[in-house]
Amino acid sequence: MIEGGLITKWADEELTKVAGKSKNTDEGSGRGAVVITVKHLQAAFFILVMGYLLGGGVVILESIYFRARFLAWAKFFN
């Protein structure tokens, strides 16, 4: 992190915040702050839902597998 310059960059940003001026403002564009909407986060929600579906599928497959294994074990001893 130090070699990449992240620590130095974060320290510089915090020092400029304390001083009351930001180096990252683009005063020429006039855009200011951007409101983040669901459309901006659509990819994150998609990945979240896909992870939930994958996890749920694995749980269902595990329950089917172990139920079949238990039934085979029960038949073996009966």
Report whether pLDDT(10) > 90: no
Report whether pLDDT(65) > 60: yes
Report whether pLDDT(60) > 70: yes
The pLDDT value given to residue 61: 96
What is the pLDDT averaged over residues 62-76? 87
Contact status, residue 12 vs residue 23, Cβ threshold 8 Å: yes
The pLDDT value given to residue 32: 75
Integer angstrom CA distances of residue 75 from 56, 61, 63: 29, 21, 18
The predicted-structure confidence for 14-31, as pLDDT tens digits, reads as follows 888 887 755 555 555 556
CA distance 13 to 25: 12
